[in-house]
Amino acid sequence: MVYLRLIPWLGRFLLPLAVLAIGAFSSPAHSKDRLLVFAAASTTEAVLEAAAAFVAVHPGVEVVTSFASSSTLARQIENGAPANIFLSASPDWMDYLEDGGHVATGLRVDLLQNRIVLIAPADSNLDIPIAPGFILAEVLAGGRLAMGDPDHVPAGIYGKAALQELGVWNEVAPLTARTADVRAVLALVERSEVVAGIVYATDAAITSRVRIVGMFPESLHPPIIYPVVIVRGGDSASARAFLTFLRSDTAELVFRQFGFAPTTP
């Protein structure tokens, strides 16, 4: 289990396409049914725990995971990456794959919900209400706001939408440090390399090195929904079993442990 814990930590600094084989030590890999799961970076710890729980009751399956921005993973699937399961932080990127015929028909499920928050380093005294007249640009005082690239990273897209609704995007945009995924934002704030950052509430919950300054009202951005699907060409008994498991009470408890809320059935 130590190996399972190390990978999420390393994932903030290594290439996002590194993979982890869960259950690979219990028997030779060739005797197992290999399942490749692509999942949004924000789900790293939760998906690792859920995969471990799945393998515990399906010892004949080896689960391999790859975490990155949903946009990055979607592009890889579009280009033929042999994934079985895709868990996206963005319905739009799932729509993109679905419209292109890259996912199995009729197997898409809206699995999780999340929130976005403004965070600062744990020792920061930043304290501003998220409301009309948001003085974020003023308090940055020449510093930077880290956020996922709003051109393609879901957390950044949601963050930009919220700042636009607050009427401050045009003044804040030049002060942003844009990253490839939300975990890169978290790392920048943890190291105090930026004044603040926008991440999911679930990201802020995994470290004591940041604190939540405020939670963006859900009315400021589209609903943050995580759909999951079986990728075209990746359908198998194991893939369907894993998709079913992700909707089970056991998996729900895991996701709730990491701050995710299930969608309404």
Q: What is the pLDDT of residues 181-238, one digit of tens each?
A: 999 999 999 999 999 999 999 999 999 999 999 999 999 999 999 999 999 999 999 9
Pair 166, 137 in one domain: yes
Pair 128, 253 in one domain: no
Pair 21, 107 in one domain: yes
The DSSP line for 146-212 is EEE-TTT-HHHHHHHHHHHHTT-HHHHGGGEEEESSHHHHHHHHHTTSSSEEEEEHHHHTT-SSEEE
Contact 135, 173 (CB under 8 A): no
Pair 92, 167 in one domain: no
Pair 102, 51 in one domain: yes
- Measured CA distances, 7 to 13, 51, 69, 136 (Å): 10, 14, 17, 34
Pair 107, 11 in one domain: yes
Work out the percent of the chain whose per-residue pLDDT is above 70.
Answer: 88
Pair 95, 170 in one domain: no
Pair 97, 137 in one domain: no
For the chain, what is the mean pLDDT? 89
Residue 164's CATH number: 3.40.190.10
Work out the percent of the chain whose per-residue pLDDT is above 90.
Answer: 85
Pair 96, 25 in one domain: yes
HSE of 93, CA atoms in CB hemisphere, 13 A: 29
Count of domains for the chain: 2
Average the pLDDT over 142-171 and give the result. Answer: 96
Q: Which residue has the tokens 């930026």?
A: 194
Q: What integer pLDDT is reported at residue 21 of this predicted model?
A: 53
Rg (C-alpha) for the chain, rounded Å, is 18
Q: Supply the range of the domain harboring residue 197.
A: 116-220
